[in-house]
Amino acid sequence: MRRRALLLIEGHRANGLLYAQAALRLGLHPITLAVDPTQYDYLAAESIEAIQVDTDNFDALVHVCIRLRSTYDIAGITGFAGRDESLYVTVAKLCRHFDLPGPNPASIERSGDKFTQRQFLAQAGVPVPAYRLAANAMEVERSAAEIGLPMILKPAEGSGSSGVRLCRDPDELAKHTTYLLDGKYPWRSAPKILVEEFAEGPFYEVATMENAVIAVGAADFDRPPHFVVCESMFPAPLTDEEHERIADVSLRCLRALGLGWGPANIELRWTKRGPVVVEVNPRLPGWTTPRLIQLAYGVDIINEHIKLVIGDECDLRARHSHTSAARFLVPDRDGILDCIEGASRAASVPGIVEVRFYIEPQTPIVRKDDDRDLIGHVIAASPSRTWTETILQRAMDLIDWSIIPLTHTGEQVQSGTTCLAAPMQEVSDKR
């Protein structure tokens, strides 16, 4: 009997290995198709099969899949979004082409374009911020005058908060408009800028699967005007009524966008008028969110997603009720990562589940003001929110890193380095 294979289009530095491991547990052979498999360190480290292919070329992917079918029984296909959602559209089209379970390509496409997404949500009566679409500086200025400051300026397509900025005054608006339009931002096509009202209030993220709300978490961000996450917690500290309202709005999003199959991730803020939807991502949430959900609820959403991908039924029932949280390590300056201390001490704190750094000592740090700025995380879990917060802070207090700043000429400053935080090794599942 031929081995059943799960094809993963591209990889993911946070969740790619988790998908491969879950596939193996389900008796599947994971195979990654990627433009450059070497960028995903876990593939070689775990001896995971990988094939180099142009993942932007649909016909090339189809050709590789046909070739693999001569050796394997392809049980399912899924993948990961890059800096935009276009790759996940390709995944959906591959599933349709080979008559495999998967999302509706049209639903993924309309969700990936933030302007189109806003239109569908607004037409369905889902509360969203006021918004306009702009293609040039004049249209940005006119839209900003209609919406008012402070406001958000961001690409209509993209992920990871890339190119997203809070503009609080005309100077910040002009500066970010110039950045987006004068060749510095890497557009895949003609510039499409979303000019958006700033929805002020606590931030929440909702993980859904198959028209069901699995988890509602809270998150906080590093210093404005950018949106680099610094902390995430599940479940969010909400009243029953607040949870019900957020869950209701989230399910309305899925219906409006036609996202009835598979996972989605809805981002909201609780404003003066209640929950307002900031964004709907038609895929599984990234970074530590799947791990936090598993620790808080006992639901492995990666495992259950793969079950859907291969045509099996998923089980989304919560097994327990704990509180999990992650604190991210975010540098506050550019420079060279230098001193690293306290990893083992932090990992030894009871209740700490994982301490992980994404980069090595002596790595240059050049901030991009999006999720690529994150250089590590610490995860804690316990039956109590108060205790989880306490042990997480205790671990963070034991972690130090220092950055050697650079002068304007690019030279290292040899004195006055700043201690901030940090371990370079990874310790996981130690509780």
Question: Using an 8 Å Cβ cutoff, are 266 and 205 in contact?
Answer: yes
CATH code assigned to 130-197: 3.30.1490.20
111 token code pair: 């969700």
Of 221-225, 323-327, 408-412, the one with minimum mean pLDDT is 408-412
Question: Which neighbouring-strand residues pair with 269?
Answer: 203, 276
Categorize the per-residue pLDDT at 428 as very low, low, confident or very high, splitting at 50, 70 and 90: very low
pLDDT level of residue 408 (50, 70, 90 thresholds): low
Identical fold between 203-309 and 323-428: yes
Write down the catalytic residue from 118, 132, 165, 283: 283
Contacts of 180 (CB under 8 A, 6+ apart): 153, 155, 163, 191, 193
Q: In whole angstroms, what is the distance from residue 191 CA to residue 134 CA?
A: 8
- The DSSP string of 75-92 is EEEEE---SSSHHHHHHH
Q: Please tell us whether the domain made up of 323-428 is placed in CATH 3.20.170.30.
A: no
**DSSP result, 399-412:** -EEEEEEB-TTSPB
What CATH number has the domain spanning 203-309?
3.30.470.20
Residues 6+ apart with CB under 8 A from 68: 5, 7, 31, 51, 74
3-state secondary structure of 267: strand
With residues binned 3-state (H G I as helix, E B as strand, rest as coil), the percentages for the chain, rounded to 5, are 30, 30, 40
* 242-282 per-position pLDDT tens digit: 999 999 999 999 999 999 999 999 999 999 999 999 999 99
**What is the mean predicted confidence (pLDDT) over 190-213?**
95
Q: Check residue 413 and report its DSSP letter.
A: P
pTM metric for this prediction: 0.91
Q: Is 283 a known active-site residue? A: yes
Asked if residue 384 has pLDDT above 90, the reply is: yes
* Domain range summary for the chain, segments of one domain joined by +: 4-100, 130-197, 203-309, 323-428
Homologous superfamily (CATH) for 4-100 = NAD(P)-binding Rossmann-like Domain (3.40.50.720)
Place of tokens 């070739």: 67
Which pLDDT band holds residue 339 (cuts at 50, 70, 90)? confident
418-419, strands of its sheet edge to edge:
364-365, 335-341, 400-405, 418-419
How many Cβ atoms are within 10 Å of 166's Cβ, its own excluded? 18
pLDDT for 85 equals 74
Q: Which of 163-167, 205-209, 407-411 ranks highest by mean pLDDT?
A: 205-209
